[in-house]
Structure 1
Amino acid sequence: MKIIKFLVILILLVSCSEREKHPYTFYYWKTKLSLDNEEKKALDKTTVPILYTRFFDINKVNGRFQPLAVITKDESFETDKQIVPTVFITNQTFVNISGEEIHFLAESIHHLIDKKSKEYKLKTNHEIQIDCDWTAGTRDDYFAFLKELHKISGKDIDCTLRLHQVKDKAIMGIPPVKKVFLMCYSTSSPLETSDKNSILDVNILKSYLSKLEDYPIKEIEVALPIYSWGIVTNHLGRHKLINALSQNDLKNPNFKKISDHEIEIQKDGFYFGNYLNKGFTIKVEKITNDQLRDVIAFLDKKIPLFNIVYYQLDTKFVVNQNFKLMSKFQSDF
């Protein structure tokens, strides 16, 4: 009997040691829905049966709501994952908005999501996610919109949560949702002169989230960055952002290496879809696995149970990444 009990305990320990502490998936943030082989392989390995998929953006232009960059789809976009429609809404959309406009906006978003889901035969689930960097001045109207969208759509509404909205929760308010997605990136502006990594500075993140365990909404998922970009600086010290730039992109005979992450342009020309002059510099910012592990270890002490959503699903960012290692397979004992 003792041997049998020992074997049962051993099996349980092995099973627990292989359990994934933080299941993971991705955001999909391209306007055209398509998947190449590397993206399909990365998505197939995910351990959350969901893909958070951006459907369109909303902005207010000349007093009118406008959907921008609405998704299209080609035949390569095939997945067994459930799709959660995600909509980015600019904060200015909620400036001086009336109650009637809130209803109209919620209704319009619901109908456009429904239209695109049916048109492209997307297997959506019971959720809609809203991404908005609301402020103290727009919070009441934004929160009213979230309630209205829930009422009209009949879906569970969740929303993104930025670091400053956690730190200043007394001013920023608590959104009327059951689940939030903590965006652990964009810790500073890439268009400001700084020696910090603007995608993610772990010390800044820890400062903003020092009281995360006190946040009233307890169902928190974590969005982590795996993307990179390039910051172009001209002769006047002004900055321009080029998305999805990597260190490999800096290998060009017209570039002079300044450091491991920065080059100086030696010849005027078109680079990465932009006309850039001699003397301009390009600095690539990226995220290391050590940074991600540091953030996960910190959050483990604040909110032990959470899923991870990596931003974003793109071959450039998922090749050679061991996401299972990042999401920390370890014992729960």
Structure 2
Amino acid sequence: MRILKFLLVFLLVISCSRKENHPYTFYYWKTHLKLDQEEKKILDHAPVPYVYTRFFDIDKAAGKFQPVGVITRDKSFQTEKQIVPTVFITNQSMYRISAEEIRFLAKNIHDLVQKKAKEYQLKVNNEIQIDCDWTAGTRNDYFKFLKELKRVSGKEITCTLRLHQVKDKSQTGVPPVEKVYLMCYSTSSPLENSNKNSILDVVTLKNYLSKLEDYPVKKMDVALPIYSWGIVTNHLEKHKLINALSRKDLENPGFKKISDNEIEIIKDGFYFGNFLSKGFKIKVEEISDEQLEEVTRFLEKKIPHFNLIYYQLDSKFVSNRNF
């Protein structure tokens, strides 16, 4: 009997300590669809059979909806993955939108997705994902739009879910979809003076998601950041972003090291395609595997089994990652 009890306790400890495996894939967020050899290899190795591919953005200017950055395709974009068309819609596009405009927008988004899928012979699945940072002021019309898009397309409509939309769900509401994608990044603005990592500060994320287990949408996958950037600060404390910088890029004789991830420019010149003056500072923000692991283990305590979608598929970001 004692041996049996020991074995049961032992098995329980082993099962509790075993890390959960999360199948993964990627977002593809470039306007021109193309894959280099490393990107194709990494994507082919991903166990999830989908790649979430941005098709275009929607903005509203002078009262008219406009598709922005519609995709084109290079012959190198070859994959066995099914494409999940993803459309980003600015929040301002949903302000004071009429019922007629909702119907117009839903139909035209569906038509343009279908047109591009056919034009570039993309193997799309039966889902359209909408990415919108909706707020309390736009929630009702945005939710009506999601329902209308489902009606006109006949497809499964899913949407992204930002951290503040979880924390403030009583104000921002819960979207009328069966599945959401939790975006575990952009925990603060990179253009603010802060010592925190604006891409992902784990303490801030845990605060926003402290009640995640109460979120009423049943199916939820998780988007994690693998991108990086540099934040340039000038003499007036104004900021700008340079995409895809890493700490290695800070190794330059024209730079004076301030910390492991920050430098001061000591010689005027062109750096990373920008003219930067002496005295400007650059702070690099990037995400470690340890941070991603910590977020994943935290989420396992909040929601059931989930897939991971890394943002984004780019050889600059996938090199030396432990997927």
Structure 2 unmatched ranges of 5 or more = 1-16
1:322 positional shift: 1.3
1:319 positional shift: 1.0
Distance 2:148 2:261 in 1: 46
Distance 2:77 2:309 in 1: 19
1:238 positional shift: 1.1
Report the number of matched residues.
307
Cross-structure match for 1:56: 56
Cross-structure match for 1:244: 244
Distance 1:268 1:110 in 2: 49
1:158 positional shift: 0.2
1:107 positional shift: 0.8
Structure 1 unmatched ranges of 5 or more = 1-16, 324-333
Cross-structure match for 1:305: 305
1:253 positional shift: 2.0
Counting aligned pairs with the same residue, the percent is: 72
Instruction: State yes or no: 1:26 paired with 2:19.
Output: no
Checking the alignment, whether the CA contact within 8 Å between 2:202 and 2:291 is kept in structure 1 is yes
Say which SS state the counterpart of residue 241 (structure 2) adopts.
strand
Cα deviation, 1:275-305, whole Å, max 9, x if unaligned, reads 2111100000000111111101100000131
Note closer, same or farther for the CA distance 1:20–1:37 as it changes in structure 2 (3 Å cut).
Answer: farther
Distance 1:245 1:18 in 2: 35
Distance 2:131 2:272 in 1: 28
Cross-structure match for 1:226: 226
Cα deviation, 1:179-230, whole Å, max 9, x if unaligned, reads 0000000000000000000000111111111111110001010000011010
Distance 2:322 2:292 in 1: 12
Q: After the TM superposition, which of the residue ranges 178-187 and 264-273 deviates more from structure 2?
A: 264-273
Distance 2:19 2:200 in 1: 28
Cα deviation, 1:251-270, whole Å, max 9, x if unaligned, reads 22222211110111122222
Checking the alignment, whether the CA contact within 8 Å between 2:28 and 2:54 is kept in structure 1 is yes
1:18 positional shift: 10
Runs of 4+ aligned residues of structure 1 deviating over 3 Å after TM superposition are 17-20
Distance 1:31 1:126 in 2: 22
Q: Which has the higher contact order (CA 8 A, sep 6+)?
A: 1
Which amino acid in structure 2 is aligned with residue 153 of structure 1?
A: S
Say which SS state the counterpart of residue 104 (structure 1) adopts.
helix
Say which SS state the counterpart of residue 147 (structure 1) adopts.
helix
Checking the alignment, whether the CA contact within 8 Å between 2:266 and 2:278 is kept in structure 1 is yes
Distance 2:70 2:173 in 1: 30
Q: After the TM superposition, which of the residue ranges 249-258 and 309-318 deviates more from structure 2?
A: 249-258
Distance 1:95 1:255 in 2: 45
Cross-structure match for 1:276: 276
Note closer, same or farther for the CA distance 1:28–1:296 as it changes in structure 2 (3 Å cut).
Answer: same
Q: TM-score, normalised by structure 1?
A: 0.90
1:20 positional shift: 6.5
Q: TM-score, normalised by structure 2?
A: 0.93
The residue correspondences of 1:1-333 to structure 2 (distance < 5 A) are: 21-323=21-323
Alpha-carbon RMSD across the aligned residues, in angstroms, is 1.3
